[in-house]
């Protein structure tokens, strides 16, 4: 009896065996993903994690820590709060960059999704400090992040001896966990204290990238239109003069093509709401969309795969003047704008624009 039961446990009817063999043959003959498909998936996942990190990491971390307060894990929230109080000034003092995060392999897939490219036109000497003006803002500053925060486009090889930093809203460094993520990559608050520290107390060879147009410029972001908010933005020039930092223009061609935005006309009530929100909160609530996760044809929050080429221009040499006059600030501001216009006009036809395209400065 035991022998019969044993045989019955392992044997299969002829029909079942045929079904299993057919399934195995189908599996073996099915087309496996090609290397190109695998690369595309990795690139999409790399962009997805970046978008989710910037949109959700800070908020989710804050809500989680608040939730833990009401559980038996409340010491975690208490200890982290104590850590933030102890570490409060670190973002204003150069941050806490981790070279290993900048070399994270995922950034290569992130770069290749668009792809993003960095172009050097002039050398930057490690014996000086620099303020790099990054234009345009776009929706999420993809070009600035990829080139100045990750090492995927070869900034360190193109500009040896130069340490790049990127500035962002100071409020981001008040969000738990997100602040650690930002500092590890080399981001710092866009405040006079933080920028002044990097330009005066961190030695030489520092390049602080500032997206000068800021949130206001993102409201005018749309494909085919190059509008910069720059005419009355002179604080970065004053800081450059006070610290003797050279001014370097940079332009990311293709930045405005990554998303589609609903642009409300000046004077409309929706535009008024956006501008008031931007003044109160520091960022503008844009109505935009990109591609979906599963299909390019669907709509979602991921950027479209459009080439981005960031061209770094010629430095404008700036003297050190502790108390520069308004006239001096205006003079170097005009010099910077002329250098930026030259950079734009010399490169626009190389990277996707036509000869007739112009840059509008507001």
- Within a domain: 7: no
Note whether 94 and 164 are within 8 A (CB). no
- Within a domain: 27: no
- Within a domain: 352: yes
- Within a domain: 1: no
Q: Could you give the number of structural domains in the chain?
A: 1
Q: Residues with Cβ < 8 Å from 151, sequence gap 6 or more?
A: 102, 103, 107
How many CB atoms sit inside 10 A of residue 163's CB?
20
pTM confidence score: 0.86
pLDDT exceeds 90 at position 253: yes
Q: What is the pLDDT of residue 3?
A: 43
Range of the domain at 119: 37-361
How many CB atoms sit inside 10 A of residue 210's CB?
21
Note whether 194 and 89 are within 8 A (CB). no
Q: What percent of the chain has pLDDT over 70?
A: 85
11-17: long-range contacts at Cβ-Cβ below 8 A with a sequence spacing of 24 or more? Answer: none
pLDDT exceeds 90 at position 334: yes
pLDDT exceeds 90 at position 327: yes
Note whether 241 and 324 are within 8 A (CB). yes
- Within a domain: 296: yes
Which pLDDT tens digit goes with each residue over 178-227?
999 999 999 999 999 999 999 998 889 999 999 999 877 877 766 667 88
Across 5-9, 35-39, 106-110, the highest mean pLDDT is recorded for 106-110
- Within a domain: 302: yes
- Within a domain: 32: no
Q: What is the pLDDT of residue 35?
A: 81
Q: What is the pLDDT of residue 282?
A: 58
- Within a domain: 159: yes
């Amino acid at each position: 009896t035991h022998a019969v039961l044993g045989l019955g446990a392992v044997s299969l009817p002829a029909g079942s065996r045929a079904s299993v063999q057919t399934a195995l043959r189908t599996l073996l003959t099915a087309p496996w993903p090609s290397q190109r498909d695998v690369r595309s998936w990795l690139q999409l996942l790399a962009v997805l994690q970046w978008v989710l990190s910037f949109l959700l990491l800070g908020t989710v971390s804050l809500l989680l820590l608040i939730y833990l307060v009401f559980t038996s894990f409340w010491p975690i929230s208490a200890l982290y709060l104590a850590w933030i109080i102890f570490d409060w000034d670190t973002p204003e003092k150069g941050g806490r960059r981790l070279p290993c995060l900048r070399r994270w392999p995922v950034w290569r897939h992130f770069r290749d999704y668009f792809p993003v490219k960095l172009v050097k036109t002039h050398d930057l000497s490690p014996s000086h400090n620099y303020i790099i003006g990054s234009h345009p803002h776009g929706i999420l500053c993809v070009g600035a992040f990829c080139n100045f925060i990750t090492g995927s486009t070869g900034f360190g090889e193109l500009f040896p001896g130069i340490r790049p930093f990127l500035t962002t809203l100071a409020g981001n460094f008040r969000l738990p966990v997100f602040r650690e993520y930002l500092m590890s990559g080399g981001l710092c608050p866009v405040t006079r204290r933080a920028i002044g520290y990097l330009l005066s107390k961190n030695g030489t060879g520092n390049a602080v990238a500032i997206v000068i147009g800021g949130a206001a410029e993102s409201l005018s972001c749309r494909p085919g239109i190059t509008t910069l908010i720059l005419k009355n933005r002179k604080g970065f020039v004053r800081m450059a003069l006070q610290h003797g930092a050279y001014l370097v223009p940079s332009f990311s061609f293709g930045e405005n093509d990554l998303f589609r935005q609903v642009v409300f006309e000046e004077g409309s009530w929706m535009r008024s709401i956006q501008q008031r929100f931007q003044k109160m909160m520091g960022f503008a609530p844009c109505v935009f969309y990109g591609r979906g996760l599963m299909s390019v044809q669907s709509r979602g929050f991921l950027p479209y795969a459009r080439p981005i080429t960031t061209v770094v221009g010629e430095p404008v040499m700036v003297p050190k003047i502790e108390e520069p006059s308004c006239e001096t600030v205006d003079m170097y501001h005009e010099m910077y704008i002329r250098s930026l216009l030259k950079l734009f006009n010399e490169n626009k036809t190389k990277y996707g624009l036509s000869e007739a395209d112009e840059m509008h400065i507001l």
